[in-house]
A and B are shown apart, each in its own frame.
Chain A
Amino acid sequence: MKKFLFALLLITTTLFASNLQTEEKIYALIIHTLLPDNQKIKVWGDTPHNKEILQNITDLQLVESPKDANFLLLDNNSSIETNALIFVTNYKILEKMQKSAIGGFFWQKGRPNILFLRKNLQKKNIQLPKSMQDFVEDEI
């Protein structure tokens, strides 16, 4: 049984890795790291691009309304009031939502940046693995 589970995991993981574009892989890894225990993560995006990314990630359920989601991927909507985890794709939105957003993945200074805000991780009681600590910042 263990062998079977291991083989299944290996196959699933490999498929998972090869079927997604790099951007989608990055979001998949971030979402599953932030919400490791959720069996079915409900997600919502505020732009067609963000929706497409979330839709292409396996094991996520793209919902119609941000109220039903427990993970939001936002590019331009900073006025949403929610208890869901917020991750942004735009530096300006992160500036506006630095008290509530867990982090962001955005272009700045000529390079793509992934950033998690320490205070907001603590508020949500999220402990990132050691290898991700390099991406944690006290402020933006």
Chain B
Amino acid sequence: MFKIFLLLFFSVITLFASEKLSSLLTTYTKESELSKITKQEAAGIIDIFTREDLQKMQAKDFNDVLKLIGGLHSTRLTNNITAFSKPTTSTIQLPSVRLYVNDHDMSSSSFGSAFLIWGELPLEYIDHIEVYKGSSSIEFGNETASLVIRLYTKEASREAGNKIRIYGDNLGSINGDIYHAQIFDNGLSLFAYANVNNIKRTTYHNEYQQKEYDLKSNRKGHNLYFNLKSTQFSLEAGSYVKENDNLLGIGIHRTPTGGDLDSYHHYFHFINKFPKKFKLEVSYDKLSYDRTYDDENGIKVTNAPLLNHYNIHFKDSIGSIVLEKLFHYTKHSLLVGTFYKHKRFEANGNYANTDTGYLHTNSYKNSLNLYSLYAEYTYDYDNSLRLIASAKGDFTHYDKSVKSSNKAILRIGAIKHIEKFRLKAFLTKSYVPIAFYQLYNPQNMPYKTNPNLTPMNLDLGSISLKYKSNANEWELIFAKNKLHDVIVYDRRTPNGYKNSNKTITYTRYQFKYTHNFNQNNRILLDLYTGNNSKDVVLSPKYAASTQLFNTVGKFDIYNELIYKSSYSCYGLYMDAAFDYTLAVKYHYNKDLSFGLRGENLLNDAFEQAYKNYNKAIPVQDQKIWANMEYLF
């Protein structure tokens, strides 16, 4: 009897196993997502775009993801640079948002932002993306920012093999990606990636004195990335080279007749993990940002007559050393770290009016030593409550003229789990670093600078309540920011930028909902709004996005709808926007797939208004992309 029972037992197990193996493998894939390993719950309120999400979306470049970040509008400036605005506000300060690829801070020293170069980076080598709001960056051992976006590259240990991806669109764009991943017998792993792109965008037009001018925003370039890793160290190198059109440019009548941006960013980053949780990071960046504007109807700059040619070439280099040690004892964790950065900054300008013969050239440079000390203490009171306290001191010293500053960042937080609920709350006292371009330009030409500016102080409070059951997950988020000593631009003063005694308060309300129909079918909803103490509306006050992920047989189907409410700006009224994207991917087999992605299919995407231009321009083009991916 016992033998029959055992036989029956294992037969049932086997039957159960057979039916469930595919399903278990799908579950394992989801549970093994790298984002589950890399995400840092204590670092802020998090949005995650998993590898599976990015693949089903057929995401191509960073913009496909940026436009889905809740609580922000992704837009572009007059010169075609990616920027963000919060509901109701104008675009936010560039240094408020920091971008990392793995542990490397991609920000330039001239602008304090990575988005001038990396705003549209191709995503094929990226595994997943984490967005931290209400952050302080202490957890990431680097300069401060309230919004941190971290991109993680694919792991060679999981990728072993090669991949080619080619896509193009109906406007004539073409993009190619290739990567190779290998694990050696000695345990080292190698990942090497190359991309080449030539992206065409819709050309808009401006008419001035019965002449038509093209407003172009095409770009082309290439992106190379390499990493070599062992369990002890990692060595990364990256290089992104980009040429980008100027869209409207900076002419007084928005009538560009030429010019573009030629830029590159090369970097390497070395990390070594020593015994006893001691970590050393060394990195070096070299950046070039060569911007030319040509406008035959005049470019107005500071301290010069009307120009028709404007060229400025910024060159940055950044050297950085980070040391960190983690102490862990039962319920207590203490991370202590320090970093030193040396940033060099150089600008060469060439400003002319070919009609009048005016020509002015200038050249200036400066450098910054930034020292930082930081610590973060985490206490696990019990399995359901984690308390966090962190502090950081940033000490900046410039080589020339610019006032040095010593700033402190303080942060406390708590994460509490109560059955299916999770409460997160953070309070941060921080500041917004000032970019070089606002601080130093001895001739105040072509723009004014103020070497005596002090960083704006920032108080951040955020709270999130999340509920998670098997199929449903929702999250309510409330965040309040107070910006003190706000830097304003006053054209009447010799130095333009100045610290005012103004305080601006900003409040954000957000609701996120996810429903999992089953392993392969899911819907996400994200609603958000905000208001500011100045009571102005310079961008949509209400926004919502919904994403629907489906898999039917060999097809992945992705629907995305982004809504932005109507708004008025620069004397223009922008109607409510509905940006609809549909992507369908057919898996011919496990290694070969073909896809189509239609963007802004309703031709009703979010439009950005610009000063001195009488029409609003859609941030997203209407396009159909064809996509082929092959693994071998």
Interface residues of chain A, those whose CB is within 8 Å of chain B, are 5, 9, 12-13, 16-17, 22-23, 25-26, 28-30, 32-33, 36-37, 39, 91-92, 107-112, 114, 128-132, 134-135
Residues of the B chain whose Cβ atoms lie less than 8 Å from the Cβ of A108: 158-161
Task: Tell me the complex Cα distance, A67–B15, Å.
Answer: 30
Residues of the B chain whose Cβ atoms lie less than 8 Å from the Cβ of A37: 7, 10
Interface residues of B in 1-59 (CB under 8 A from A): 5-22, 24-25, 27-29, 31-32, 51
Please determine whether A26 and B12 come into contact, CB atoms closer than 8 angstroms: no
Q: Kindly report which residue of chain A lies nearest to residue B3, judged by CB atoms.
A: A39
Please determine whether A26 and B161 come into contact, CB atoms closer than 8 angstroms: no
Interface residues of B in 594-614 (CB under 8 A from A): none
Please determine whether B157 and A22 come into contact, CB atoms closer than 8 angstroms: no
Give chain B nearest CB distance to A20 CB in angstroms.
10
Please determine whether A134 and B154 come into contact, CB atoms closer than 8 angstroms: no
CB within 8 Å for A30 and B17 given contacts A108-B160, A109-B631: yes
Task: Tell me the complex Cα distance, A122–B383, Å.
Answer: 50
CB within 8 Å for A109 and B591 given contacts A32-B10, A36-B14, A129-B14: yes
- Can you list 15 A-B contacts with CB-CB less than 8 angstroms, sorted by A residue number? A5-B5, A22-B24, A22-B27, A26-B24, A28-B17, A33-B14, A36-B10, A92-B185, A109-B160, A109-B631, A110-B158, A110-B163, A110-B631, A111-B158, A112-B28
Q: Does B183 contact A (CB under 8 A)?
A: yes
A-contact bits for B512-529, CB 8 A (1 contact / 0 none): 000000000000000000
Residues of the B chain whose Cβ atoms lie less than 8 Å from the Cβ of A110: 51, 154, 158-159, 161, 163, 631
Interface residues of chain B, those whose CB is within 8 Å of chain A, are 5-22, 24-25, 27-29, 31-32, 51, 154, 157-161, 163, 183, 185, 590-591, 631
Task: Tell me the complex Cα distance, A23–B28, Å.
Answer: 7
Please determine whether B161 and A131 come into contact, CB atoms closer than 8 angstroms: no
Q: Kindly report which residue of chain A lies nearest to residue B158, judged by CB atoms.
A: A107
Please determine whether B160 and A26 come into contact, CB atoms closer than 8 angstroms: no
Residues of the B chain whose Cβ atoms lie less than 8 Å from the Cβ of A12: 9
- Name A131's contact: one of B7, B19, B160 (CB within 8 Å): B19
Please determine whether A33 and B11 come into contact, CB atoms closer than 8 angstroms: no
Please determine whether B17 and A107 come into contact, CB atoms closer than 8 angstroms: no
Please determine whether A29 and B21 come into contact, CB atoms closer than 8 angstroms: yes
Seed contacts A22-B27, A28-B17, A128-B18; 19 additional CB < 8 Å A-B pairs:
A9-B9, A25-B24, A28-B13, A29-B20, A32-B10, A32-B14, A107-B157, A107-B158, A107-B159, A108-B158, A110-B154, A110-B159, A111-B158, A112-B29, A112-B32, A129-B15, A131-B18, A131-B21, A132-B18
Residues of the A chain whose Cβ atoms lie less than 8 Å from the Cβ of B17: 28-30, 32-33
Please determine whether B21 and A26 come into contact, CB atoms closer than 8 angstroms: yes
CB within 8 Å for A32 and B157 given contacts A26-B21, A129-B18, A132-B18: no
Task: Tell me the complex Cα distance, A134–B11, Å.
Answer: 20
Give chain A nearest CB distance to B39 CB in angstroms.
19
Residues of the A chain whose Cβ atoms lie less than 8 Å from the Cβ of B15: 129
Q: Kindly report which residue of chain B lies nearest to residue A25, judged by CB atoms.
A: B24
Task: Tell me the complex Cα distance, A33–B6, Å.
Answer: 14
Give chain B nearest CB distance to A113 CB in angstroms.
9
Residues of the B chain whose Cβ atoms lie less than 8 Å from the Cβ of A132: 18, 21
Residues of the A chain whose Cβ atoms lie less than 8 Å from the Cβ of B6: 39
Please determine whether A33 and B18 come into contact, CB atoms closer than 8 angstroms: yes
Task: Tell me the complex Cα distance, A22–B32, Å.
Answer: 10
Please determine whether B12 and A13 come into contact, CB atoms closer than 8 angstroms: yes
Most-contacted residue by chain B among A22, A36, A92 (CB, 10 A): A22
Residues of the B chain whose Cβ atoms lie less than 8 Å from the Cβ of A112: 25, 28-29, 32
Residues of the A chain whose Cβ atoms lie less than 8 Å from the Cβ of B7: 37
Most-contacted residue by chain A among B11, B21, B183, B185 (CB, 10 A): B21
Residues of the A chain whose Cβ atoms lie less than 8 Å from the Cβ of B19: 131
Residues of the A chain whose Cβ atoms lie less than 8 Å from the Cβ of B163: 109-110
Task: Tell me the complex Cα distance, A112–B14, Å.
Answer: 21
Closest 6 CB pairs of A and B: A29-B17, A129-B18, A107-B158, A109-B161, A131-B18, A109-B631
Task: Tell me the complex Cα distance, A52–B561, Å.
Answer: 46
Residues of the A chain whose Cβ atoms lie less than 8 Å from the Cβ of B10: 32, 36-37
Give chain B nearest CB distance to A18 CB in angstroms.
13
Task: Tell me the complex Cα distance, A91–B183, Å.
Answer: 10
Residues of the A chain whose Cβ atoms lie less than 8 Å from the Cβ of B32: 112
Q: Kindly report which residue of chain A lies nearest to residue B631, judged by CB atoms.
A: A109
Residues of the B chain whose Cβ atoms lie less than 8 Å from the Cβ of A107: 157-160
Residues of the B chain whose Cβ atoms lie less than 8 Å from the Cβ of A22: 24, 27-28, 31
Give chain A nearest CB distance to B496 CB in angstroms.
50
Residues of the B chain whose Cβ atoms lie less than 8 Å from the Cβ of A39: 6
Residues of the B chain whose Cβ atoms lie less than 8 Å from the Cβ of A17: 16
Q: Kindly report which residue of chain B lies nearest to residue A35, judged by CB atoms.
A: B10
- Name B13's contact: one of A16, A23, A109, A114 (CB within 8 Å): A16
Please determine whether B8 and A9 come into contact, CB atoms closer than 8 angstroms: yes
Please determine whether A91 and B13 come into contact, CB atoms closer than 8 angstroms: no
Q: Kindly report which residue of chain B lies nearest to residue A21, judged by CB atoms.
A: B31
CB within 8 Å for A13 and B14 given contacts A25-B24, A26-B21: no
Task: Tell me the complex Cα distance, A129–B7, Å.
Answer: 16
Residues of the A chain whose Cβ atoms lie less than 8 Å from the Cβ of B185: 92
Task: Tell me the complex Cα distance, A33–B19, Å.
Answer: 11
Most-contacted residue by chain B among A5, A28, A33 (CB, 10 A): A33
Q: Kindly report which residue of chain A lies nearest to residue B32, judged by CB atoms.
A: A112
Task: Tell me the complex Cα distance, A124–B158, Å.
Answer: 30
Give chain A nearest CB distance to B3 CB in angstroms.
8
Task: Tell me the complex Cα distance, A51–B14, Å.
Answer: 22
Task: Tell me the complex Cα distance, A112–B27, Å.
Answer: 11
Task: Tell me the complex Cα distance, A5–B7, Å.
Answer: 12
Task: Tell me the complex Cα distance, A129–B12, Å.
Answer: 13
- Name B12's contact: one of A9, A23, A25, A114 (CB within 8 Å): A9
Please determine whether A135 and B21 come into contact, CB atoms closer than 8 angstroms: yes
Task: Tell me the complex Cα distance, A6–B548, Å.
Answer: 41
